[in-house]
Every structure is written in structure tokens, then in C-alpha cells.
Structure 1
Amino acid sequence: LLEELNRTAVTYPEQQCIHELFEAQVRQAPEAVAVVYQDQRVSYGELNARANQLAHHLIGLGVTPDQPVAICVARSVAMVVG
């Protein structure tokens, strides 16, 4: 049972970064459900909007590209946004 449920190996374009693959999914299906946590359902479009909002906030605080940022949140949709 564990082996069958965890069989998630798929091929993907290795030359693209994870954020590029995610944004391609947002363009392809923005209304599709990306995250389900308890009673919350968040679409790819909404998740992307929240992640961009966080990115712009961090930029406003002076965070630069490739600078590590620690994020401490409880298990939630916010964790996925981060």
C-alpha cells in the first residue's frame, strides 16, 4: 500500500526552476485547487498571488535575490505560500 501510494515519480523539465514550473501550472489552470488544508481550498492563481505578495513584501524589507530568508509558521496554507 505504501509503495503504491508513494509512486509519484514523474519526468519534468530539469532545466527549469521549481518556481517556473509552478507559474506554468498557474497559467495552465489558475482555478484548479493547489492546496487543501483542513477546510481551506486554495487555487493555483490565489496561491501564486499570495506568494507574489509575500515576495514583494520581502523585497520592500530589503531582501535581495538569492538571499536566504527564514520563515516560521504553523502548518497551514501560509507554510506553502512561504
Structure 2
Amino acid sequence: MNFADTYFAKEHRYSLGIETASGRYYASIPVSNGVVDYDEYYELDSDQYQRFLTDQTAALKFVYACRRHEHDRLLIEKPGSNRGTPV
């Protein structure tokens, strides 16, 4: 998979983008499992993606829920047994 960020919120540590092979939209957050740092990618529909680009409050609400594992069903790549925690 090739994840291409189109927006990055440095202060809030999340990004939005498009997975180029499938055209799926995503929000990503950085995580660490103590061995490696990586990103978790949560699938967005087109409406969410467009709204999050212009409404940071809505984006942050979604991102914070992802950090609490409330949207795990939307993970594009399922985590392994040594899942990281948000950083």
C-alpha cells in the first residue's frame, strides 16, 4: 500500500490522505510499540475526508476516538499482537 498524505496537523499529530492503489481516504496517527514507531491508518469515506480537511474540530474528535481504539473496525491494516500505543 502507498499512503500519500495530503494534510498534516503537526501540533495534533495526525494526517489525512489517500491510499493511491485503492483510492481510499484515511486519517493516520503515530503509534509506538517500544520497538518501532509506525502509523495506524483509519479508513474515511469521501464526506469525512472532505469535512476533516476544513473542520479541524471534527477531525480531532475522530482522531481522539481512534487513539482510544473506538474506530478499530476502520483500520486499513490490522495490528499485530504487539500493537503500539498512540504517541
TM bin, normalised by shorter chain, reads: under 0.3
Bigger radius of gyration, 1 or 2? 1
> Which has the larger helix fraction?
1
TM-score, scaled to structure 2: 0.25
- TM-score normalized by structure 1? 0.26
The structure that is strand-richer by fraction is: 2
